[in-house]
Chains A and B, each alone.
Chain A
Amino acid sequence: MKGPGVVLVVDDSRVNRLVLARQLSGMHIDVLEAENGREALDLLRAHATAIDVVLLDVVMPELDGYETLAAMKADDTTRHIPVIMVSGIEELESVVRCIELGATDYLPKPINPRILAARLSASLAAKHLRDLELEHIEQQRLLTETIERQKTELSRFLSPQIAALVSSQEGEQLLAGHRRLITVAFCDLRGFTTFAEQADPEELFGVLGEYHRMMGHAIIEHGGTLEHFAGDGVMIFFNDPVTQDDHVERAVRMAVAMRERFEPIATGWRKRGYELGFGVGIAVGYATLGRIGFEGRYDYGAIGNVVILASRLSSQATANQILLSQRAAGMVEDVADVESVGEIEIKGLSRPVSASNVLGIPASIT
């Protein structure tokens, strides 16, 4: 436990310093002494965090009270230390000037021990309060820093939207589970299974890494929520957890961007002998979203027919096709050129479904 405080006494008169030091030590206060402003500033620089209050004489050689006070107030490490001016009553005018310069209080000479005790305890209390406040601010800062670091760490493993959800107020409610209309996009590579069987592991991870980087940028640009990567398969949804009025359009624009960016990458692979094609399936519908998994490993996921439909459309897509469910196609006909590919048999569904391929987005709209 800290004592009542440490006071720096600055006075060129040894007699005055002796009196002050003696009276202060009677109050169990630790005393540092300086003969002039220059010495005081040296001590303050060396012990800024230890000194609680400065008792400062006005008329001194080397560096006087004004200059010392001004130097203290100009320095971030000493600015907050209370300064009590010690001065004769006839120097009231200079005291006023010092108060204007930032001095906290004034102690008349000759020193009356009771006035000294009163002024000092007020300044010490203010200083200790401020120290507590600083300590509190520092703790807050460390806490915020830790949280931010954890968020950053988390966002490297999760979609940014989900990372934000985990650390937000309303997050718990959304994580617990809710139903919402979403757009789901499934992307995968044609010819990947064959490629994976033949390629070296290094080559495989090199190709996947390049593909995922491109996909990741496109997902972020269009505000998609990445549900998962599974080898070449990538599932993204829109309108959750952040709501998006144009969720279908976003999914289609993202898929078109991916297809365009895929081409130069595929050309590079082709030169190395790998024939890989890009296909996407997009569907719109209600799903249940929230935390899926078990204590120890949870994912944020979507469950519903819309997910199955998008996945099946993706597996039916030929290279460079972006297949939309009928409902999805109807919702983007104003922004995208689509052509019907007729009805497609979908495993698990009793009847075939109509699907359309996205040809592109007219330049007038982009």
Chain B
Amino acid sequence: MNESDPDVLNESVLDELSSSVQGDRSFVVELIEAYLADGESHVADVEAAMATRDAAALVRPAHTLKSSSATVGAERLAALARNLETAGRSGTLDTAAGEHVAGLRQAWGEAGAMLRAWIRRGDGS
């Protein structure tokens, strides 16, 4: 994993977010922590829906993951979640969708690591 892969975490999104709250970094940290806490269950919900081929149950966690990932700059995760939301809506949980779910889990791990690194970097400065 490339530590500064902008696909995994687009840090400029976090910078914009910071400046939109007058540089209040602790707010951005709080936001990331909320994202990491809630996102885990969304990823798990997507996996469970995929395992039971329940397209309808997949839509909402995928949708939430898509928009919250976009908010914190986890762009690869947001893109995968969007694909899965679309697949869920059209009811086509095919092999491609299955690969997206596997990718989602991996992207979640990578984005989480980079977000935690971002928080730590701030703590040291």
Contacts and interface: CB of A to CB of B under 8 A. Distances in A.
Interface residues of B, number: 22
Contacts of A22: 21, 27
Given A59-B60, A61-B60, A113-B20, A15 B38 contact: yes
A14 B38 contact: yes
Interface string B26-49: 010011001100100000000000
Contact of A13 (B17, B22, B67): B67
Contacts of A23: 20-21
A238 B102 CA distance: 97
A14 B34 contact: yes
Contacts of B70: 88, 109-110
Nearest to B72: A15
Nearest to A17: B34
Interface residues of A, number: 19
B89 to A, nearest CB: 10
A179 B21 CA distance: 80
Given A14-B38, A59-B60, A90-B82, A26 B22 contact: yes
Nearest to A60: B60
Contacts, number: 53
Contacts of B13: 110
Nearest to B34: A14
Interface in B57-82: 59-60, 63-64, 66-68, 70-72, 82
Nearest to A20: B71
Interface in A1-15: 12-15
B31 A19 contact: yes
A18 interface: yes
Contacts of A318: none
A110 B71 CA distance: 6
Contact of B67 (A18, A26, A61, A88): A88
A326 interface: no
A16 B20 contact: no
Contact of B68 (A16, A60, A113): A16
A113 B16 CA distance: 10
Contacts of A14: 34, 38
B63 A59 contact: yes
A111 B67 CA distance: 10
Contacts of A109: 67, 70-71
Contacts of B27: 18, 22
A16 B82 contact: no
A309 B21 CA distance: 92
A15 B34 CA distance: 6
B72 to A, nearest CB: 7
Given A15-B31, A19-B31, A59-B59, A110 B22 contact: no
A86 B93 CA distance: 27
Contacts of A18: 27, 30-31, 34
A26 B70 CA distance: 21
B80 to A, nearest CB: 14
Nearest to B63: A59
B97 to A, nearest CB: 17
Contacts of B82: 88, 90
A23 B18 CA distance: 11
Contacts of A59: 59-60, 63-64
A167 B68 CA distance: 65
Interface string A95-110: 0000000000000011
Contacts of B64: 12-13, 59
Contacts of B31: 15, 18-19
Given A16-B71, A26-B20, A90-B82, 5 more contacts: A12-B60, A23-B20, A59-B59, A60-B60, A109-B71
Identify the 6 closest CB pairs spanning chains A and B, nearest first: A15-B68, A113-B20, A59-B63, A15-B35, A13-B64, A13-B68
Interface of A: 12-16, 18-19, 22-23, 26, 59-61, 88, 90, 109-111, 113
26 contacts: A13-B38, A13-B64, A13-B68, A14-B38, A15-B34, A15-B35, A15-B38, A15-B67, A15-B72, A16-B68, A16-B71, A19-B17, A19-B31, A19-B71, A26-B22, A59-B59, A59-B60, A59-B64, A61-B60, A109-B67, A109-B70, A109-B71, A110-B70, A110-B71, A111-B71, A113-B20
